[in-house]
Structure 1
Amino acid sequence: MVAATGGHIDVVRFLVIDCGADMNTKDDYGRTALMVAATVGHIEVVRFLVIDCGVDVNTKDNFGGTALMVAATKAHIDVVRFLVIGCGADVNTKDNSGGTALMKAARSGQIDVVRFLVNDCGADVNTMDTNGKTALMQAAEGGQIEVVRFLVNDCGADVNTKDNDGGTALMMAVTGGHIEVVRFLVSDCPANVSAKNENGYSATRFAADHGYYAIVIHQLYSTVRSRVG
């Protein structure tokens, strides 16, 4: 695994071909050499392990994560493309928390990976994790405005979908103080600013609780006034 991490393809080949190293061996976290190579984006090592060694691209670690998920999180688009197009990796498989490669790429703001997974691979933008969160919510929570715009404008993601606790993408953006995302969701979508979660909290209440009241309230109500005229 050390050789895979460092991208030392000649060493990896030697260990496998000459020494009979088992490339399906897992570490204490359940990670294989393929997952490690995918994490750091070593495409040559990834190709060798899959094509020459027959390593299963859909193998999961102890947390349900796959090589595709880690590559998507780190924006290694060449690895992502190879695993999906070249190897048939399952783009909609979920980890133990219900997360998908799309959700992970969305949360970390990897817009090129997000576009590829949706446009070229048919990733499901509406699927939810075990907490009821969608890729849009993940992106809003992470303040990833490019991803948010793409999921809404190009994919038709519903901005008013609620998670298991009644939370919306707007509430999550407000909680994180991501004013650009808040502005987009309220002004361009429009998100329901009056929606409440299971505890009766609205986006404005979250703004007050997290110290963003002034900037968020100004945006919310200036937008509401402009709608009314």
Structure 2
Amino acid sequence: MAPPGDPRRLCRLVQEGRLRALQEELQAAGGCPEMAGDTLLHCAARHGRRDILAYLTEAWGMDMEAANRDYKRPLHEAASMGHQDCVRYLLGRGAVVDCLKKADWTPLMMACTRKNLEVIQDLVEHGASVLLKNKDGWNSFHIASREAMHGHLEAVKVLLKRCQYDPDCKDNCGVTPFMDAIQCGHIDVARLLLEKHKVCLSAEDRLGAQALHRAAVTGQDEAIRFLVSELGVEVDVRATSTHLTALHYAAKEGHTSTIQTLLSLGADISSKDERNRSALHLACAGQHVACAEFLLQSGLKDSEDLTGSLAQQLIGGAAPATTR
């Protein structure tokens, strides 16, 4: 049997929410042992054990600002997991609201990856900055706009109400929140950003790509229709540094359905980039059989024998075994 104060047993008691057993263990051990990495407060915050969080803080004076190996504080853990009662307790006890973990993520940034709107509201009401940026140049707007698993329309609404931010603020790759929303297919978020802040539709990332190009890369057909049909974005607009169109990007990534969408919207199937490559060139280079077949069937007539030869080899099965 593990001796009193064994860290692994204490962590298990916290996870299971067994406050009485934890009290007995700590009293027998004479206090909280030194623990490498996560403290018992981290564990309590992560698992939503508000009563244990209060006990450890008030009875044993544990440090709410103790950082683990990733420099996470208990507030990071509670915000990340959406435990509002723990967040409120820590903030009420004076926890630093904009504490930074590795890569400069704040608790608010972590909360924006979840669907717990109340936690986001609590953090903002306690003064959390919505404009701080992490090491990738993302602020809370970028994160709330881009989360592919979430699409936080309500979170974006809360953040918009709480501050005046640059509508076209960019991360380290030059991506704006509007571009994030579009490339993740969150049209409702994109529409909100347009209505509230009149974002620039032609903003470019560091490679000169616009929102339309990024939607083509990620295969977001509905977002492409939204941009072209509703907002009037030119379907053949080129990225300034590469001269690639959305059709080129879609072919490069092997998105056959996106190619179909772009062609239905009037994209020029024969357009070339600065290296004189068509969409068929890029589909062949990426060994995307279905895309190459579709482009040929759609009437693409390339003047270069090399392209036609590559396409025929690819479709005929002469491509390497890594074809995808």
TM-score by length of 1: 0.81
The verdict on how the C-alpha distance between 1:203 and 1:32 changes in structure 2, with shifts beyond 3 A counting, is: farther
Which residue matches 1:37?
A: 144
Larger Rg: 2
Task: Name the amino acid aligned to 1:123.
Answer: V
- Is contact 1:174–1:207 with CA below 8 Å preserved after alignment? no
Consecutive unaligned residues of structure 2, counting only runs of 5 or more, are 1-108, 320-324
The whole-number CA distance in structure 1 between the counterparts of 2:209 and 2:154 is 27
Q: Taking every aligned residue pair, what percent have the same amino acid on both sides?
A: 31
The whole-number CA distance in structure 1 between the counterparts of 2:308 and 2:176 is 35
The whole-number CA distance in structure 2 between the counterparts of 1:207 and 1:51 is 56
Which residue matches 2:134?
A: 27
- Is contact 1:126–1:135 with CA below 8 Å preserved after alignment? yes
The verdict on how the C-alpha distance between 1:203 and 1:83 changes in structure 2, with shifts beyond 3 A counting, is: farther
The whole-number CA distance in structure 1 between the counterparts of 2:284 and 2:242 is 19
Task: Name the amino acid aligned to 1:214.
Answer: G
What SS does structure 2 have at the residue aligned with 1:11? helix
Residue 249 of structure 2 is aligned to residue 138 of structure 1: yes
Which residue matches 2:16?
A: none
Task: Name the amino acid aligned to 2:309.
Answer: T
The whole-number CA distance in structure 2 between the counterparts of 1:11 and 1:123 is 37
Highest RCO, 1 vs 2 (Cα 8 Å, sep ≥ 6): 1
How many residue pairs get aligned? The number is 207
The RMSD of aligned alpha carbons is: 2.2
Map 1:1-229 → 2, pairs under 5 A? 1-17=109-125, 19-40=126-147, 41-129=151-239, 130-154=241-265, 156-188=266-298, 190-195=299-304, 201-205=306-310, 208=313, 212=314, 214-215=316-317
The verdict on how the C-alpha distance between 1:71 and 1:118 changes in structure 2, with shifts beyond 3 A counting, is: same
1:141-168 Cα distance to aligned partner (Å, 9 max, x none): 12222221222232x2211111121111
Deviation at 1:63, TM superposition (A): 1.2
The verdict on how the C-alpha distance between 1:6 and 1:121 changes in structure 2, with shifts beyond 3 A counting, is: same
Consecutive unaligned residues of structure 1, counting only runs of 5 or more, are 218-229
- Is contact 2:130–2:159 with CA below 8 Å preserved after alignment? yes
Deviation at 1:181, TM superposition (A): 2.4
The verdict on how the C-alpha distance between 1:216 and 1:124 changes in structure 2, with shifts beyond 3 A counting, is: farther
